[in-house]
């Protein structure tokens, strides 16, 4: 039996009879979600509970807060487990499922798309390059844009050499359609918190739900949480970076500019709906992993957005403008960045460095430089197995941040990670040991552009 395969009984033996994740030592244990456990642990409708089943945290004699041991039900096993349903995670899940393996996707919110939808980052930057304006984002990303064209008000300004803008609600719908078409098993309202690890190998993940912590075991795990929550929990090395954090918004009933009319501040940018405009925000450069910091930013930004809205309404001709929404998800751009087997550098991208394990090509914001190759090794931790990442947390130097985090390049890295994870399952090997020629064929079959 290969290293990426393990039975439940063997896993429990490896983990010392069910200890979950070294980061949770003394905290959580996993066992199969059999009927008797579900009945005693999870509330049954119409049944009055006397509180005896509760296991609250407590203060010990020294005033320390102690988290009690908790049995975690194993609710599922899968081939590929994707944590985070943003742009990279959805591309990864669809790609892996289309390659012929069982895929499970866990998402903390009630929708998919991450910052592209919940964060109202609506512009599609980074999918084409200089010179002949080649569109390097193909595969699933191109399919998504083509399908958005067929939806009412799904996308606008989609033409060669341009950066289109999508509608958040249309994209949310499309992702549901594509994920269900692919047969991906989905858990929403579920926050992935802890990796299940033995022998430097990820065996699955614990995620938190309203019914308590639950566990899914998997042959391959892909961390597309954006913040690298799972590779950090698994013990992979990473760099922690401060970056711009903003909060976009949308306004409605916005009149068109007339010839010679001065464009007011906070007029915003076009969207697929004529009288609705999109307002981006660069925001402060700060720590996106500090919950109190994020709370303060939310308060500050919502006040600022409303003040700017009132100022716009006071301009002549703009008195009917309405506030449609502020993004329900704060625009955190970069936090943890994996220390991978290979680190992508801006210098390497500008010098057109080639990789023999390329899984896709990334583009530029405005097509202002050549494409750059994305190697599989930039998605892999140095020492932790059965784990990949994709999206804004892949292994890069700081100067690559503005390239890797934009939507099309997240599609590319997500599809590359999904195909690689599926290839590892199909070949019954570690991802770092996959036969690249077979992986390349999966990528080509899924219309990934490799140059």
SS3 content of the chain, % helix, strand, coil (to 5): 30, 25, 45
What confidence tens digit (pLDDT) does each residue in 163-175 have? 999 999 999 999 9
Q: Residues of the chain with pLDDT > 90: what percent? A: 81
What confidence tens digit (pLDDT) does each residue in 112-155 have? 999 999 999 999 999 999 877 789 999 999 999 999 999 999 99
Q: What is the pLDDT of residue 34?
A: 40
Strands 322-326, 249-252: pairing is antiparallel
Q: For residue 227, give the nearest of 9, 91, 392, 383 by alpha carbon.
A: 392
What confidence tens digit (pLDDT) does each residue in 217-262 have? 999 999 999 999 999 999 999 999 999 999 999 999 999 998 988 8
Q: What is the pLDDT of residue 381?
A: 98
Evaluate if residue 2 carries a pLDDT over 60. Answer: no
Gap between the Cα atoms of 179 and 39, Å rounded: 31
Q: For residue 218, give the nearest of 6, 41, 390, 444 by alpha carbon.
A: 6
Angle, CA 424 vertex, CA 355 and CA 357 arms, to 5°: 5
Token digits of residue 429: 């090997």
Pseudo-torsion of CA 97, 106, 284, 399, nearest 10°?
Answer: -30
Q: Is the pTM of this model over 0.85?
A: yes
What confidence tens digit (pLDDT) does each residue in 36-94 have? 344 444 456 666 777 777 888 999 999 999 988 888 999 999 999 999 999 999 999 99
Token digits of residue 234: 């698994």
What confidence tens digit (pLDDT) does each residue in 412-426 have? 999 999 999 999 999
């Amino acid at each position: 039996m290969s290293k990426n395969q393990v039975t439940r009984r063997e896993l429990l033996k490896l983990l010392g009879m069910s200890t979950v994740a070294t980061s949770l030592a003394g905290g959580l244990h996993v066992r199969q979600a059999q009927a008797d456990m579900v009945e005693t642990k999870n509330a049954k409708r119409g049944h009055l509970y006397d509180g005896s089943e509760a296991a609250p945290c407590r203060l010990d004699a020294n005033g320390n807060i102690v988290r009690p041991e908790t049995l975690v039900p194993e609710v599922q096993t899968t081939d590929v487990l994707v944590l985070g349903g943003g742009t990279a995670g959805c591309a990864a899940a669809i790609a892996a499922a289309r390659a012929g393996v069982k895929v499970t996707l866990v998402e903390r919110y009630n929708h998919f798309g991450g910052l592209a939808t919940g964060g109202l980052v609506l512009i599609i930057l980074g999918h084409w390059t200089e010179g002949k304006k080649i569109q390097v984002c193909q595969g699933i990303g191109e399919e998504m844009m083509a399908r958005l064209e067929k939806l009412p008000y799904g996308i606008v300004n989609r033409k060669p050499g341009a950066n289109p803008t999508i509608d958040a609600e249309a994209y949310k719908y499309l992702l549901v359609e594509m994920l269900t078409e692919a047969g991906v098993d989905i858990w929403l309202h579920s926050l992935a918190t802890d990796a299940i690890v033995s022998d430097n190998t990820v065996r699955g993940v614990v995620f938190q739900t309203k019914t308590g912590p639950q566990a899914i075991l998997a042959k391959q795990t892909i961390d597309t949480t954006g913040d690298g929550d799972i590779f950090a929990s698994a013990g992979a090395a990473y760099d922690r970076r401060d970056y711009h954090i903003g909060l976009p918004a949308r306004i409605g009933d916005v009149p068109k500019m007339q010839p010679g009319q001065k464009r007011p501040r906070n007029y915003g940018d076009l969207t697929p709906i004529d009288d609705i405009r999109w307002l981006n925000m660069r925001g402060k450069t700060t720590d996106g992993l500090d919950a109190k910091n994020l709370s303060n930013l939310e308060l500050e930004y919502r006040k600022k957005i409303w003040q700017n809205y009132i100022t716009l309404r006071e301009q002549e001709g703009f008195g009917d403008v309405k506030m449609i929404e502020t993004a329900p998800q704060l625009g955190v751009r970069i936090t943890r960045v994996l220390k991978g087997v290979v680190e992508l550098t801006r210098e390497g991208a500008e010098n057109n460095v080639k990789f023999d394990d390329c899984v896709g090509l990334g583009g530029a914001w405005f097509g202002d430089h050549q494409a750059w190759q994305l190697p599989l090794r930039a998605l892999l931790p140095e020492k932790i197995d059965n784990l990949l990442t994709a999206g804004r947390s892949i292994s890069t130097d700081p100067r690559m941040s503005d390239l890797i985090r934009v939507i099309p390049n997240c599609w590319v890295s997500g599809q590359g990670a999904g195909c690689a994870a599926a290839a590892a399952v199909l070949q019954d090997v570690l991802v770092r040991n996959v036969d690249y020629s077979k992986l390349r064929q999966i990528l080509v079959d899924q219309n990934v552009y490799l140059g």
